[in-house]
Each structure stands twice: as C-alpha cells, then as structure tokens.
Chains A and B, each alone.
Chain A
Amino acid sequence: MKVLVAVKRVVDYNVKVRAKADGSDVDLNNVKMAINPFCEIAVEEAVRLKEAGVASEVVVVSVGEKSCQEQIRTALALGADRGIQVETEGAVEPLVVAKLLKGVVEKEQPQLVILGKQSIDGDNNQTGQMLGALANMAQGTFASEVKVDGDAVSVTREVDGGLQTVKLKLPAIVTTDLRLNEPRYASLPNIMKAKKKQLDVFSPADLGVEVKSHLTQLRVEPPAERQAGIKVASVDELVDKLKNEAKVI
C-alpha cells in the first residue's frame, strides 16, 4: 500500500508572529521556518505504517516555493521514501492546494493520504477535507488512532464530546491530531541519506490546475491587547478582588 503525506513549510511554533506596523501583512523577516507540527505527525504515522509492514512506500508532497524542499528533506530524513514538490509562488489557498494534491493523488494512486489537521500559520483546517471531496474519498479527521484493516481503515477522531471511531473505505484521507503519535528525531545518517532521495518537481500546469485566488487579505492587525494585570499576595486578596473589583463571583 502506498501512502502519500502532505507537508507544509510554516513558521516554527515557538515564534510569536506579529502584524507589521502598517498592517499590510505579518512580519516574517528572519523568522525560523519548520515543518508544520501536524504534518510532522503525519509523516511519523506513515513511516510507522511502513515499519509495521502495512505501507510499502511513503511519498511526501509539499506545495510551495523552492524553499519547501527543506521540509520535504526533513520528511525524507524521518523515513519517507521520495518527495514531490509542486512549485507555486506566494500564499496558496487551501482549495487550490487541495486541487493540486488531487492531481498528485491521480498520478500516484495512494491508498491512504495523511495530512495535518491544520497548519499553524493560517489555522484554516480545510485542506484534507477539501481533498476528500474533490477526490471522492472518505476522511478521518483529527485522528488520534489509525488502524488499517484490509481494504478499510479505522480512525479514532478527537471530537468536541470525546472520541469517535469511523471506518473508511480505502483509498481514504486521514488528518492528524496532536495525540496520534510523537514524532521521532531524524538521525544524522538519515539526514545524509535524505539528501540523495528522489525529489521530483511539478508545476501546477503539469497537474492541470489553475492557481486562483478566492480570498484577498485586506489587512492584518494585532489582537486587542489585554490591560496589564496585578499580582495578588494571597488567596484572600484574590477572592476579595474577584468579588468586589471584577465582580465575577
């Protein structure tokens, strides 16, 4: 069984991103970039499926500028077998990413596509589901457990009320939640090996997709600042403030 994993290059999760003073965009000058944490979990899950003998090949794909090859190499170092970059310019909306991924799905014919449930830049939480609709595949989103069983996959999902398990016909889509697994660190020899793994580059035109924009970002701004608070010296003072100043209890 072939597994396709989609990864995105994003700002490292430790960086507190700010809006530029003129509100034109976010300030990403000299910030550290990394593989989106949920995508890293997706790669780990695919590699584990391979190690368990369930998957025969793990192909990793990223849509983005040339720099995203760095994240593809990271995924290859974690154990993916080969990479595909779909070369685009600037920000690409989830619907377009889903169309491009559908093009890759048609070429590669994977049985399972694993994506992160959201990327920590746009926080959209859309791409996997959109790909599901376009490719007419079932989806197990926000997965905390994935079990492949013959021509189906059981996915346990983190939902508002607790956990839900669904059974999906293959080929299917899985989007990862935080507790699906804990990704490994790439070893130095594996990082070296990853440099030699195959990485193909396609253009959107190769995949027959027109890159279109549906949404325009008009401006960005910081969220409302909270008034600086105070430190209270004791539980008594805390209770007093909550009762008499904030009046919330």
Chain B
Amino acid sequence: MSTLVIAEHDNSTLNGATLNAVTAAQALGADIDILVAGADCAAVGEQAAAVAGVNKVLVADNAAYGHQLAENLALLIAEVGAAYDNVVAPATTNGKNTMPRVAALLDVAQISDILSVESADTFKRPIYAGNVIATVQSADAKKVITVRTTAFDPAAPEGGSASIEAVSSAHDAGISEFVGEELAKSDRPELTAASVVISGGRGMQNGENFKLLDGIADKLGAAIGASRAAVDAGFVPNDMQVGQTGKIVAPDLYIAVGISGAIQHLAGMKDSKVIVAINKDEDAPIFQVADYGLVADLFEALPELEGKL
C-alpha cells in the first residue's frame, strides 16, 4: 500500500497543514510519498523531505503549477496518483479546489474533510455543519481524501530523510490563468494553527473596534478571527471568517466576543479546548458551548481584560 500526500505551500515554504495531512496518511498504514507541485519550489521539496515518516518526495517544478491552478494540478495529480492507493491533501482552499477534480478524473468518490481513519477504507467526517458525525466506507480501490487538519496532530517537520525525485510531466490545460491576489499580511500566528484565537462578531459594530482585540491578541499571542456577520458587514476581510464555510479552528483557547453562536459559527470552533464567550445577551446560544461565559458589554470588558492580562 502507498499513499501520496499533496503538499500545501507557496513555492518557498511548506505549509503546516501538510504535516497534519501526513499524520492522517500515517493512519492509513501505507508508505508515504509527498508531491510538491509548484514553480521554483525546490526549497519546499527539501522541507518536505525532512518531514518524519516520509519515504520519497516528488517535485513537479513547472510554471503551469506556480499558482496551484486546479485545472493543471488535477491533471498532474491524477497522473502521478495513478500509482498510489490513496491520494491525500489537507482540506485547505487549495485542497478543496483541486482534489474533487482529481477524484473525478480517477472516477472515484472524494472523502471530504475526514476527522479520523477507522480503517484503510473507513473514515469519520462531519456533516450538517458538524452536528452529525458520519462513518463512511469507501468501495473504491483508490481513495481520494481531504483532511480536516485540526483533527490530526502535525507530523514532526524534522528528522526525516526522504529521497527527492523530479517529476517532469508538464500539464497546462490552457483554460485558466492566474490574474492576481490580495493576500492578508499579518504578524500574528495563522488562524488555523494558533493556540489562542480571539474572534469578534457583529457586536463589534465596526472594523475600527476590532482594534480592541489587538491588545489582547498581542498579550496572548493570539490570532484574530471573526464571524460571518462581521465579514459580511465589511469590518474585516474574508480570510478571518471562522465557521462551517470559513476556517476550522481548534485552539487551546477560543474567545468569542459579540458573537451569538449560530450553528454555522460553532461548526468552526466548537472543538477548541477551552471556549470563552463575552456577550451582553445572557441567552445567547454561544454560552451553551462556552466553558466560561461573561455576560457583559464588550466595550467595557475588553479594555478591562487587556489591562488584567
């Protein structure tokens, strides 16, 4: 048995989500190779080769893969993946974009967002915004899987000594091109990897007030997140959204401020170890999942909290 893990990266650095996917792949009980597809991405290949438990790293270095366009990448992964029993990627927006195309090319189902590996063909995954956990069994000879990264610990980034091989296949479907991107710049930890997350909701009232979270985030080394309502209202950018359709986080501490606790928001954070809710409405549903609830006006509670940390 063999498993191919698709690396998540930006052509220079291996993204940590790959390490969680490697752990999920280990649970499948097969030899693990990593595919790094990108442009000028040799450095990523070397980082992938250092990951503990990896057999071989395949590097497909070609301009067509530089922006992770799904149309090109899926052709490559389907070709390389043909020799493997499992093809696994983290359920990042890249993984979600590309892997279903791979599955369709291979004429197999995709098993999305797995939470656990029960056996080589049986997996748990969340449905209905995480209100139900389904156990599903695949009848396909080849499994195409995306991994909910918060459900698996990261593999050790060091200690491995995989061999590195170049893959020469160049697939350019010629139907899509990259135009540009606006990437958020932040010195804070990445939302999905942070051990503390503090999120603001509609109760924050405007983008300016999100500054009230900054001081606390600085003191706790936290990432800052948001509810959909806060993003829709334009307080903060989309990459900060936590929830069913945003990012899934499971930090040691999650602080929800001015967030009511809709099921779609809970879907993205209820696996956090400790949940704190600050809300002026004592009946807000967020209190049903909070370990510590503070019924208070956030405009008073936040400055006080910052002062006392």
B24 at the interface (CB under 8 A from A): no
Contacts of A158 on B, CB cut-off 8 Å?
A: 93, 238-239
Given contact pairs A123-B113, A162-B239, A163-B238, A141 touches B253 in the complex (Cβ within 8 A): no
Determine if B109 and A134 form an interchain contact, defined as CB atoms under 8 angstroms apart. no
Closest to A164 in B: B181
Q: Interface-forming stretch among A60-68, A72-80, A113-121, A190-198?
A: A113-121
Determine if B291 and A220 form an interchain contact, defined as CB atoms under 8 angstroms apart. no
Given contact pairs A129-B101, A133-B74, A166-B69, A232 touches B294 in the complex (Cβ within 8 A): yes
* Residues of A participating in the B interface, judged by any CB pair closer than 8 Å: 11, 13, 16-19, 26, 93-95, 98, 117-118, 120-134, 136-139, 141-142, 144, 154, 157-169, 172, 177-179, 213-223, 226-227, 229-232, 234-236, 238-239, 241-242, 246, 248-249
B108 at the interface (CB under 8 A from A): yes
Determine if A13 and B71 form an interchain contact, defined as CB atoms under 8 angstroms apart. no
Report how far A117 CA is from B244 CA in the complex, Å: 12
**What's the A-B contact tally at a CB cutoff of 8 Å?**
255
Closest to B234 in A: A179
Q: Which residues of chain B from 260 to 278 have any CB-CB distance to chain A below 8 Å in the complex?
A: 263-264, 270, 273-276
Minimum Cβ distance to chain B for residue A19 (Å): 5
Report how far A169 CA is from B93 CA in the complex, Å: 21
Determine if A163 and B291 form an interchain contact, defined as CB atoms under 8 angstroms apart. no
Q: Which residues of chain B from 222 to 258 have any CB-CB distance to chain A below 8 Å in the complex?
A: 228, 231-232, 237-239, 244-245, 247, 252-253
B105, B127, B192: most-surrounded residue (chain A CB, <10 A): B127
Minimum Cβ distance to chain A for residue B35 (Å): 18
Determine if A95 and B128 form an interchain contact, defined as CB atoms under 8 angstroms apart. no
Q: Which of A18, A118, A242 contacts B132 (CB 8 A)?
A: A18
Given contact pairs A133-B104, A220-B135, A246 touches B291 in the complex (Cβ within 8 A): yes
Closest to B191 in A: A160
